[in-house]
Amino acid sequence: MAEYDLTPRIAPNLDRHLVFPLLEFLQERQLYNDNHILKAKIDLLNNTNMVDYAMDIHKTLYQTEDVPQDMIERRADVVARLKSLEDAAAPLVAFLQNASAVQELKADKHYNLQLLNDKYQIGPAQIEALYQYGKFQFECGNYSGAADYLYQYRALCTNSERSLSALWGKLAAEVLMQNWDIALEELNRLKEMIDSKNFSSPMNQVHSRIWLMHWSLFIFFNHDNGRTLIIDLFNQDKYLNAIQTGAPHLLRYLATAFIVNKRKRPQFKDFLKVIQQEQHSFKDPITEFLACVYVNYDFDGAQKKMRECEEVILNDPFIGKRVEESNFSTVPLRDEFIENARLFIFETYCRIHERIDMGVLAEKLNLNYEEAERWIVNLIRGSKLDAKIDSQTGTVIMEHNHPNVYEQLIEHTKALNSRTYKLVTQILEHAQAPAAH
């Protein structure tokens, strides 16, 4: 299933530290040769300050206790640089650890800078040193320290570009510490900044949105409400356009969220159009499954794709986690996915047939006859499905209640309000853009 591994597409849109969890997952799943994964880790580590970790991997890879001289020298340089930055940031760090002194700070950053300079002889050099110290801590793998220092830096920073950079670092640190609630807050702050910032070119803003969506995958597939939130973000026009422009592989995750999340079905029809439009640039068993069921009505193809989907999910580092690693559910996402995929097939098949042979239906659902019968009985009991089972003939009989013309009109026009609102918002944004410049 390595052919469906999206890591080569995803990694360029992540901070290198965020790639390590993906490599750990791939190593566990044994999708690639173990030595190749270890070499990839060392390549990543060469551009960080996690020298001790690089040494450990080198020893494992080459079965030796010796490490190259350049690693030893690199470690000495890192320790010396860390001590230098610690000394430079020490006055501000000491101030921030003084609770009574911190109480003097106000929401006005310029007032705070003047206060620090006049009363504590802390100026721009020490504030810059705090940023560099926090960034260096992150590069060393001390994510907790990095998160604290970058947060404190943003409270004093008046440079919007530097503040944005610190926010990216804070988000990455919270993700790597698996603080999902805090990470979600930082993600929302970052989204707000990206959406409101005047970028040098529209493509820079698109690239920032693409990065944001890639980083958000860690949060959305671990947070309690993540599989709803991913639809809220990815399905926004600006972000869906960014996906279609530069990251169509993200459709896998939006498709997965739609399949396991029944509450977002009203937006589902528009998403199917996107899948059709992007088939030339990206398709995998998950998106093809939806195309088979809802576009081509190819139920044999859907049955085959459903089996492939199981493997794709198991081997995807975001949606393939073991159940004990998941916070949002006691049911593995794979099982939820398959259950809902069967429901999609059943609902669509029933819409175009009035009488269905139970044996044929069982085959479409990848179940034996008895399992299919129990599954359908439970479905009829637990939902508003207007159907009954004729045990003598072994068929499911659908009783279609077609909506009258007024109901059809309401169904086709109920989305117009939200679409009009989106259109007006876009027009206003374009009108305000020249004024802002």
Q: Tell me: the pLDDT tens digits for 126-172?
A: 999 999 999 999 999 999 999 999 999 999 998 989 999 999 999 99
pLDDT at 41 exceeding the cut of 80: yes
With bands split at pLDDT 50, 70 and 90, how would you rate the model's confidence at 377?
Answer: confident
pLDDT at residue 405, as a whole number: 56
Instruction: Please give the Cα distance from 193 to 202 (Å, whole number).
Output: 15
Query: Nearest 5°: phi and psi at 296?
Result: -100, -10
For the cut 90, the answer to whether the pLDDT of residue 415 exceeds it is no
**Measured distance CA(308)–CA(284) in Å, rounded:** 9
Mean of the pLDDT values across residues 232-237? Answer: 94
Mean pLDDT of the chain: 89
How much is the pLDDT for 428?
Answer: 75
329 confidence band (pLDDT: 50, 70, 90) = very low
What average pLDDT does this structure show over 204-229?
95
Residue 283 has pLDDT above 60, yes or no: yes
Amino acid identity, position 245: T
> 380: pLDDT confidence band, cut at 50, 70 and 90?
confident
Most confidently predicted of 2-6, 179-183, 297-301, 381-385: 179-183
pLDDT of 384: 57
What integer pLDDT is reported at residue 293 of this predicted model?
Answer: 94
Q: What is residue 410's predicted lDDT score, i.e. its pLDDT?
A: 67
Report yes or no: 141 and 288 within 8 Å, Cβ to Cβ: no
Given this model, what pLDDT does residue 418 score?
66
pLDDT of 239-278, one tens digit each? 999 999 999 999 999 999 999 987 767 789 899 999 999 9
Instruction: Give residue 426's Cα distance to chain centre.
Output: 25
192 — pLDDT class (breaks 50, 70, 90):
very high
Sign (positive or negative) of CA dihedral 28, 32, 34, 36? negative
pLDDT value of position 326: 43
Average pLDDT rounded to a whole number, residues 38-63 = 94
431, pLDDT greater than 70? no
What pLDDT, on a 0 to 100 scale, did the predictor assign at position 191?
Answer: 97
pLDDT at 408 over 80: no
Q: Which of the pair, 330 or 363, is modelled with greater confidence?
A: 363
Residue 397 β-bridge partners = 355, 388
Per-residue CA distances from 315 to 4, 70, 274, 304, 373 (Å)? 8, 36, 25, 18, 31
- Under the banding of pLDDT at 50, 70 and 90, the label for residue 328 is very low
Most confident of 104-118, 196-210, 365-379, 418-432: 196-210
Lowest mean pLDDT among 121-125, 203-207, 344-348: 344-348
Bridge partners, 389 (sequence order): 396
- Confidence grade of residue 386 (pLDDT, cut at 50, 70, 90): confident
Q: Which of 325, 324, 396, 331 is nearest to 359 (CA)?
A: 396
Does residue 322 carry a pLDDT above 70?
no
- Mean of pLDDT values over 285-296: 95
Residue range 84-103: mean pLDDT, rounded: 92
pLDDT at 52: 96
Q: For the chain, what percent of residues have pLDDT higher than 90?
A: 65
CA angle 65–68–71, rounded 5-degree value: 105
* pLDDT greater than 70 at residue 432: no
Q: What is the pLDDT of residue 330?
A: 43
**387-390 β-sheet, strand order:** 355-357, 395-398, 387-390
Alpha carbons 342 and 306: distance in angstroms, whole number: 8
Percent of the chain scored above 70 by pLDDT? 89
If one counts every other C-beta atom within 10 angstroms of the C-beta of residue 415, the result is: 13
